[in-house]
Structure 1
Amino acid sequence: MFMSLCMAVNAQKRITFHVTSEQGVALQGIAIKSDYCGVAKGVKTDPKGMAVISYSSKEATCDNVAVTIKSKFYENLDTIVPVNASDTVSIVRLTLRDKVQKIKEVEVIAYRPIGKNNAEKSVYTIDTRGLLKTTKANKALAFLPGVVAFNDSYSLAGKSQKTRIKINGVIAGAEDLKALYAGDIEKVEVREVTKDDDERFAGEINIIKKRHEQPKIFGSISATGGMIRSLWGTFDHFAFQNKHWDITGLISYNQHSQKSYTEVCRIPSLPYSPSQKMTIQRDIRIKQQAERISLSWYPTKRFTMTLGGYHYGYPTKSSDFINDTEGDDTHRKYKETLESYGSYANGSYSINDRNKINVKGNFLYYRDKYVYDLLPDYNYKAAMREYTGEANIESRLKLWGGSHDVTFGLRNTYRQNMSYANGRNDYSMQQVYLTDYHSYGKALSSYLILKGESDNMGPKRVFSFQPSLRLNYNMGKKGTLTASYQRKTTRPSIDYLNTDSLFQNVYNIVVGNEALRAQNSDNMSVSFRKQIKKAYLITTASYIHTSNIIDQIFVNPEDYNVSTYDNIGKCDEASLSVYLMNRLCKNRMNISISLKGFYKRYAIKPELERNTLIIPSEGWGYSATFNTSYLSTKGWMYSLSANLTPKTYELSYTHVQNPNLYVSVTKSTCNNQLDFKLSFTNSLVYFYTSHTNYHFRDMYQRTFQKSYANNITLSVTWNLGKRFQQRRGVSSVVNDDIVTKQQ
């Protein structure tokens, strides 16, 4: 009886409130005021959206409770909810509606991170604000942090060499970037150190496209014409995708004419020796063509297969009018053909979430051929076939210090070099590599590459060890500090090994050298990067020591025209660069600026110094690249690119040139289906002029060059169908330690 009396006296009524949004999400921190039988109480909801109010048995005599809720983000609630007075526990469920507010002004006090950095790579997103919806990837990369871009050529801040471009892990060219919309890019991975780096390439930009499961077909047809100089061309591409297949194809063709004027002046240092002068007027008709097709198959989530083939052609017809040092006039015609074919087949299989196997194969055929109309003895041919196979395994292992992302791989390359004089020469290269990425917490991480190579180019097999290490320290809001060391090896190309005489012009005949060996370099750099609101700043200090450099050597004082290639000496280069990217005018304007100052010094091997006529060059220099674009409120996009490299240094000469300018105006109409683009190339400088200074032991030579490179072009692009998305594929194999002749 006593226990029953106590329970009756202390009996309470509990009202439980459950508050959710219209989407069914539990709301935390909502203040509830209730009035039950004249007794007012208040409570806030917990993380599950629950709140409980208790009343004594004397107060619990009503059949309803008044509820009031006021919130900044949800509509206010003021209602009466029925409850049963006889129940000791009642549950009240409340749903709040989203409040619609009119915001007159927003003050931004925080900025989203532009990129994430670690020792292996930096990951960025493309900010499409300030770009047309039809802007392609080749233009969008100009405003990616740390990328220095001009005229579809890309390098990384602080680097002198070009960077390798990939799309979904597959090697890509300028044509592939023109077929990819900036809005279709999910993210961009930038690696400043990779196992494939050599003297020609430094770093890698890998574009990851957005993934879509639904079938899509997309294509475009474009036509371009020149208004000042003869130029016309087309760029067409198509793509198809469904859940298991990706097919892409493109065709590019351009034909244009160029004129140039070259004046060579030689002043001997010997007394009473007359100066010599020679002029060359050249008309060139150029055809540039490219065809590429790729197919990716995704039968399961674990297995992928990618196949592709491509062809690039660069045939030219030239006509030279020469007035030589003796005053004689010569008319010469010739054809040059630069061409390459390639194909690749890559497969990838994920054993589980921690292990993945990649198998890759690649074929490349390259040729360079000169044919003269009336001088068959000067005909020149160089060709190369290359077959490459590679296999690696990617694993996440628990080793010392925690988790490590490790890749172990093997690669074999077989090459066939062909020429008129040498016939066919075969050799092979073997490579084994190990990469390791490890994070020592949130701040410090490291990326290590251990690579060994072997080749039989010479009379005996040669081994080389090429380690690389990059450290990254994240200081939070203060920025990121990185330091790296990299060993690079570059083997000579077929053009350097070919002992046929390459008659480039009447004052420059080049002969190859079968005894050439690999060129090596040690690269060290320290960089600091920091996001400042919407801007991104990168400063880099670097030092490069190159040994066994492959360059021309002049050995005959009777004829300064003839040179040959040799591992002639070494080079030291120190540089300091600053890069800044920013967005202005409410994100309608993009700006990127790169400034670099350097000191470069060449030296010749003692055993070759007494035999060559070259006086090695050295000195200070600087370069600057500027890119900007502005998207008007009317949908017009204005772009300006400029490149200034006043003076560059090579082993036997220094080169001085005027700035390069590129201006364009683009308008997209008909719901982004039709684009019009007006481009101005060097329009402010009618002649593109440059001159080269050679310092020889007994003679000074100055070569002045003037080309009519300015033009105004109009491009019209018709976009068909819907945009096409592609999944990530496996990278193809490209051996960039071979350097083909550059034009």
Structure 2
Amino acid sequence: MRGSGNFKVLVNGKPSPTLASNLAEALKSIPADQIKSVEVITTPPAKYDGEGTAGIINIIMKKGVDQGVNGRVGASSGNRNSNFNSALNFKKGKIGFTSSANAGLWYNPGQTSRDRVGNLAAGTDTLHQLGQVQNNGHWYYGTVGLDFDPAEHHSFSLASSVNGYGGNTSQDLFNRYVSPVAADNQLFTRSTTNIFSGLNVETTGTYTRTFAQARKEWSVLGQYALNNGTFGYDFDQYANSSIPLESSQATQREHSRGRTPGHEFTAQTDFTQPFGDKRTLEVGLKAIFRRTGSVATVDTLRTLYGTALAPNLSRATDFSYAQDVQAAYATYSFGVGKKLTSSLGGRVERTALSADFRASNASSFSRSYVTALPNGSARYAFSDATSLRFAYSRRITRPFIDYLNPFVDRSDPKNISYGNPALDPELTDSYELAYSTTLKTTTLNASLSARHTGNAIEQIRFITTNPLVPLPEGVLIDPSITAQTFANAATNTFYQFNVYLAAKPLPKWDLSAGPDVQYITRRSSVLGISRSGFTAGINVNTSYKFDNGLTVQGFVYANTHTPEIQGTGPANLYYQMGVKKSLLKDKADLTLNVGSPFNSYWPYRSTTTTTTFSELSEYRAYQRSFRLNFSYRFGQANGQTKQRKSINNDDTKSGASKQGG
């Protein structure tokens, strides 16, 4: 994905609101042995939603058997997480059934620190924060699917899934603020527990009609998804103390609870008409109807004035948001001679949205816009094993609830955060030139790409005494407090060179590596900032299989700091090694994995530099881990089965997981 986090994930080629609502938690709940393959599409054709400026990752799941029954059961346990997974599939005649049930826990400690220097009219102020963090949580994920082929060229499928998660993050945060005005100095400790949970349920029905003519196909799909989440925090604050005290000694308390109700309905139809062996026309229509929002309350107490928490109505949130998308697309693919194949396509999307603020004086609004998203590609085959491909696509990113939620989170007293309901979508133009060749057991892919985004949605921070965008009602204007939100604040361009190499140096040795280098430019007239710089990354996978059913494997991923609009993003290093033993005539596996054994933690360091303050923040994630896994497979081996169609609503920009799992 060229180092970008702005991509969309599909399952079996179809959108999943469960993944869109909380990608990090949903991916945790998919056992690796259920995945058949993963497709990376950096310049998607018009058939796919216009969302996801870096492209699409399509996860192809394994299906059941041709006839008969199969399944698996497995469990793993370690010092960072544990899980249980199972599946049962069968097919008899014209009916196929698939199911899975999975659950797990995570438990991760961490440490956070922040040092900030501000530039005030009266002089320089400083903020030092240090905190111990504990992340705990659970998840569960289940699926059920039914396929029915009543007659030749006709098939029906029904698939449902449920994904739930919940947990908490506990932190004791020490705060020391030193101001040039001595009366403003502060020292206190705040003990905070952030809670969260989510429930995502979705059902998809599909009818597919094929024809005697090869590649001709018509399909109709419908999907309903329920996506509900909760969030909140509780804190006790102890003035003039560097450590947490008894709860009865707290000088300030706060209790907040919120929920993000949401549901989504999608209808889609696609038709493919071939013209001979080299020409194909694909057309389709799609409609998505989304409803979401945020309802939150805050209860506060200054113990000097009483003992009971009282509602703070001025800080409550009652926000609803509707987003409807209608789309039509067409793609024409054709061959020119024996070596050149091309495709030209376009997608037109109309978006209508409305927002209603029922607990504040903010103005409700509604608007609509139409977006044209052209794309095209050309591939020249030098031989069966070597080709050169050029592709262009335009993509759109629409912000959703994680970016829009106006609730002001004050769980960190000196660093508040909130969403921006007035965000506009961002458009990205992508260009890619890719070379691919295969020689015996070695495959090489190399690509040059450029990606340009105007009106980019950026996370921005500022001192509340010098706001870069309007502040929400009730936010304290204080030089010791920074605010974090989102704004259409930049124009970004990414230039990247990427290489992927997969080889078998020996018959039983598999090796793959993927280095990449990027040059990034970011310009913001709103912030008066222009930044540029290089970043690089690499991932390496290797495994060796011995004759006795023993396999050793290893993995490493690393990347350097990334230029951001107001500073730099963190570097990363993670590596893992493991050994797997096949048992019971290859029906069972016992695997031991060890992660980052030579360093107990990795310091994720970020910097922020503005005209009013500079800051260094660090999160120490404890990475040294071990996990023992056992899996058992029964029944017939997986056979050739058709891929169940699904809907993939990949047109929204969602935030990263807030769960810290």
Give me the TM-score of the superposition, normalised by structure 2.
Answer: 0.81
Give the counterpart of 1:722 among 632, 636, 661.
636
Write out per-residue CA displacement over residues 93-143 of structure 1, whole angstroms, 9 at most, x where no aligned residue. xxxxxxxxxxxxxxxxxxxxxxxxxxxxxxxxxxxxxxxxxxxxxxxxxxx
Q: Summarize the alignment of residues 234-245 of structure 1 with structure 2, pairs less than 5 Å apart.
A: 234-245=84-95
In structure 2, relative to structure 1, the CA distance for the partners of 1:211 and 1:593 (3 Å cut) is: same
Cα deviation, residue 212, structure 1 = 5.9
**Equivalent residues of 1:617, 1:654 under 8 A apart:** no
Distance 1:169 1:698 in 2: 46
Distance 1:508 1:618 in 2: 27
Aligned Cα root-mean-square deviation (Å):
2.7
1:626 aligned residue:
540
Give the counterpart of 2:197 among 337, 352, 356.
337
**Equivalent residues of 1:383, 1:494 under 8 A apart:** no
AA of the residue aligned to 2:234: D
Matched, 1:485 2:392: yes
2:490 aligned residue:
569
**Equivalent residues of 1:365, 1:385 under 8 A apart:** yes
In structure 2, relative to structure 1, the CA distance for the partners of 1:331 and 1:163 (3 Å cut) is: closer
Give the counterpart of 1:254 among 80, 104, 108.
104
Matched, 1:295 2:149: no
AA of the residue aligned to 1:706: R
Matched, 1:603 2:523: yes
**Equivalent residues of 2:43, 2:393 under 8 A apart:** no
Bigger RCO of structures 1 and 2 (CA < 8 A, at least 6 apart) = 2
**Equivalent residues of 1:158, 1:577 under 8 A apart:** no
Distance 2:328 2:44 in 1: 17
Give the counterpart of 1:545 among 452, 477, 497.
452
Distance 1:601 1:573 in 2: 7
Distance 2:117 2:35 in 1: 54
Cα deviation, residue 197, structure 1 = 5.1
Matched, 1:384 2:262: yes
In structure 2, relative to structure 1, the CA distance for the partners of 1:697 and 1:382 (3 Å cut) is: farther
Give the counterpart of 1:371 among 224, 232, 235.
232
1:178 aligned residue:
32
Give the counterpart of 1:509 among 412, 416, 431.
416
Give the counterpart of 2:404 among 480, 497, 520.
497
In structure 2, relative to structure 1, the CA distance for the partners of 1:609 and 1:602 (3 Å cut) is: same
Give the counterpart of 1:263 among 91, 109, 113.
113
1:121 aligned residue:
none
SS of the residue corresponding to residue 373 of structure 1 reads strand
- Judge which range, 468-477 or 716-725, deviates more: 716-725
Write out per-residue CA displacement over residues 192-243 of structure 1, whole angstroms, 9 at most, x where no aligned residue. 5232353366145464969964x221112212122xx264321111111123
In structure 2, relative to structure 1, the CA distance for the partners of 1:243 and 1:170 (3 Å cut) is: farther
In structure 2, relative to structure 1, the CA distance for the partners of 1:453 and 1:580 (3 Å cut) is: same
Distance 2:169 2:5 in 1: 31
2:49 aligned residue:
196
Distance 1:700 1:618 in 2: 18
In structure 2, relative to structure 1, the CA distance for the partners of 1:177 and 1:451 (3 Å cut) is: farther
Write out per-residue CA displacement over residues 650-708 of structure 1, whole angstroms, 9 at most, x where no aligned residue. 33331233411111100011112221110101112211221011111121100011122
Cα deviation, residue 178, structure 1 = 2.9
In structure 2, relative to structure 1, the CA distance for the partners of 1:591 and 1:653 (3 Å cut) is: same
Distance 1:201 1:618 in 2: 19
SS of the residue corresponding to residue 402 of structure 2 reads helix
Give the counterpart of 1:413 among 288, 311, 326.
288
AA of the residue aligned to 1:709: Q
AA of the residue aligned to 1:196: D
1:53 aligned residue:
none
In structure 2, relative to structure 1, the CA distance for the partners of 1:256 and 1:646 (3 Å cut) is: same
Cα deviation, residue 159, structure 1 = 7.4
In structure 2, relative to structure 1, the CA distance for the partners of 1:373 and 1:510 (3 Å cut) is: closer
Distance 1:533 1:331 in 2: 60
Distance 2:348 2:116 in 1: 47
Give me the TM-score of the superposition, normalised by structure 1.
Answer: 0.72
Matched, 1:678 2:556: no
Select the structure that is richer in strand: 2
Distance 1:699 1:170 in 2: 42
Cα deviation, residue 461, structure 1 = 2.3
In structure 2, relative to structure 1, the CA distance for the partners of 1:324 and 1:212 (3 Å cut) is: closer
1:353 aligned residue:
213
SS of the residue corresponding to residue 379 of structure 1 reads strand
2:425 aligned residue:
518
Give the counterpart of 1:707 among 621, 627, 641.
621
The percentage of aligned residue pairs carrying the same residue is 17
**Equivalent residues of 2:31, 2:85 under 8 A apart:** no
1:312 aligned residue:
163
Distance 1:518 1:498 in 2: 16
SS of the residue corresponding to residue 652 of structure 2 reads coil
- Judge which range, 494-503 or 660-669, deviates more: 494-503
Distance 2:398 2:540 in 1: 33
